[in-house]
């Protein structure tokens, strides 16, 4: 009798354990509030930490969403076209297309390229004022008969070109709309290499896009892209269609206007260039005030003092040598001659031709500048009455891909 009772007990316990195993495996929630034993069975195998609902995916510093949301409404798409022109092939920069069909006409490769020479000639712009002023690149709107702007909120309108400055590749547009968002301008004196930046634009026409990187370098020049170069270099991905878009800091403030990339394929290789906001602001104010940009000029053709030139002529490797002087120009009237080495302008050292170009350009035409030069190993000072820089000659084929001309006249 006892043996039979024990057998029944063992069978019952076996069935109960089997049922408990099935419940724990398939419906553990049934046991979560059934005493301490149930709680232990329903607990995770290892201790895990999970973010609280509604607290985000991590610390606030890991996200730049606030900066993007602040700047994105002020970045617009710029559509430009030429009446009667044939649009380029939309696959012109596709490597596979090039493999089968070759390089399209007037489509140079392996050079510094402005990043929006795409089929639709679509670029970007930045609203910098509630009055409707927009900064973009000159090469985005160059030669366009009609310009249309599409805002981030879906509104579209025609834009008028207020003025352009080909020597910095900047243009100012104007739209007449109400309730316009505008971006906050940053300060270049607070910018450092290594700062996080966001590039906002419309790459490849896919729609407004934000990419992130850092400032790789400041004051980049001698690139042959523009006459006046003082670029911010960034590794934030900039692609075709980003031209004229915004480069902003981690707070959403405008630091630069994206203008060019170094690329062998037409896509981003991590070397992009933006015109600093300090230059953009100066050009903007000048164009709004006078319709153009006025710069100083003295009429010389400068050349860098290279180690070879310094050794050949027994010169110190500083300043810039005058290779030519325009007859009747400001420098010629002041007595500057070919072979002179320009050392200083108004007490500021001249390190190369770019430095000379920028120093002279900042001086108001009609004023006198003190120029220190070296002639036959003797230093001397001359007074030069600054003239007005003439506009650059209009090229037949305005294509920034040509890399520019190494010789510049100042």
Give the separation between CA 174 and CA 144, rounded to whole angstroms.
Answer: 15
What does the DSSP 8-state code read for residue 236?
A: S
In degrees, to the nearest 5, what angle opens at C-alpha 304 toward C-alphas 301 and 309? 110
Give the separation between CA 260 and CA 255, rounded to whole angstroms.
Answer: 15
In degrees, to the nearest 5, what angle opens at C-alpha 359 toward C-alphas 279 and 310? 125
405, 224 Cβ separation under 8 angstroms: yes
The strand pairing partners of 247, in sequence order, are 199, 256
Residue 83 backbone dihedrals phi, psi, to 5 degrees: -65, 130
127, 70 Cβ separation under 8 angstroms: no
Name 226's Cβ contacts closer than 8 Å, sequence gap at least 6: 167, 168, 169, 259, 404
- Cβ neighbour number for residue 41 with a 10 Å cutoff: 14
Name 350's Cβ contacts closer than 8 Å, sequence gap at least 6: 318, 319, 320, 342, 343, 344, 356, 359
CA distances from 312 to 10, 235, 294 (A): 108, 40, 38
Active site residues: 139, 169, 243
Give the separation between CA 103 and CA 379, rounded to whole angstroms.
Answer: 53
Q: Which of 57, 59, 60 is nearest to 251 (CA)?
A: 60
Q: Which helix (H) or strand (E) holds 127?
A: strand 122-127
The strand pairing partners of 20, in sequence order, are none
Name residue, tokens 């940009």.
293
First vs last C-alpha separation in the chain: 119
Show the tokens assigned to 73: 């409404």
């Amino acid at each position: 009798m006892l043996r039979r009772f024990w057998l029944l007990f063992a069978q019952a316990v076996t069935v109960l354990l089997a049922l408990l195993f099935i419940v724990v495996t398939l419906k553990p929630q049934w046991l979560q509030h059934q005493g301490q034993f149930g709680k232990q069975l329903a607990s995770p195998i290892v201790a895990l930490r999970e973010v609280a609902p509604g607290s985000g995916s991590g610390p606030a510093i890991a996200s730049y969403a606030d900066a993007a949301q602040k700047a994105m409404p002020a970045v617009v798409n710029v559509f430009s076209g030429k009446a009667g022109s044939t649009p380029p092939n939309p696959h012109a920069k596709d490597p596979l297309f090039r493999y089968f069909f070759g390089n399209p006409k007037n489509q140079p490769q392996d050079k510094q390229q402005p990043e929006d020479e795409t089929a639709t000639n679509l670029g970007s712009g930045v609203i910098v004022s509630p009055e409707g002023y927009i900064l973009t690149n000159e090469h985005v709107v160059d030669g366009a008969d009609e310009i249309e702007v599409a805002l981030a909120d879906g509104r579209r309108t025609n834009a008028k070109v207020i003025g352009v400055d080909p020597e910095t590749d900047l243009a100012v547009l104007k739209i007449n709309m109400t309730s316009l968002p505008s971006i906050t301008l940053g300060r270049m004196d607070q910018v450092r290499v290594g700062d996080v930046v966001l590039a906002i634009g419309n790459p490849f026409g896919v729609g407004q896009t934000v990419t992130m990187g850092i400032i790789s370098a400041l004051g980049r020049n001698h690139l042959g892209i523009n006459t006046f170069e003082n670029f911010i270099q960034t590794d934030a991905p900039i692609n075709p269609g980003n031209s004229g878009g915004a480069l902003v800091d981690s707070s959403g403030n405008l630091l630069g206007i994206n203008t060019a990339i170094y690329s062998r394929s037409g896509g981003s290789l991590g070397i992009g260039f933006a015109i600093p906001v300090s230059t953009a602001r100066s050009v903007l104010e000048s164009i709004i005030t006078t319709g153009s940009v006025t710069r100083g000029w003295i009429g010389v053709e400068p050349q860098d003092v290279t180690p070879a030139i310094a050794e050949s002529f027994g010169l110190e490797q500083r300043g810039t040598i005058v290779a030519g002087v325009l007859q009747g120009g400001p420098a010629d009237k002041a007595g500057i001659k070919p072979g002179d080495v320009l050392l200083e302008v108004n007490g500021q050292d001249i390190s190369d031709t770019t430095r000379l170009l920028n120093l002279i350009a900042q001086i108001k035409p009609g004023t006198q500048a003190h120029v220190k030069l070296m002639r036959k190993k003797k230093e001397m000072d001359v007074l030069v009455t600054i003239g007005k820089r003439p506009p650059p000659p209009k090229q037949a084929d305005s294509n920034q891909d040509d890399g520019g001309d190494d010789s510049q006249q100042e």
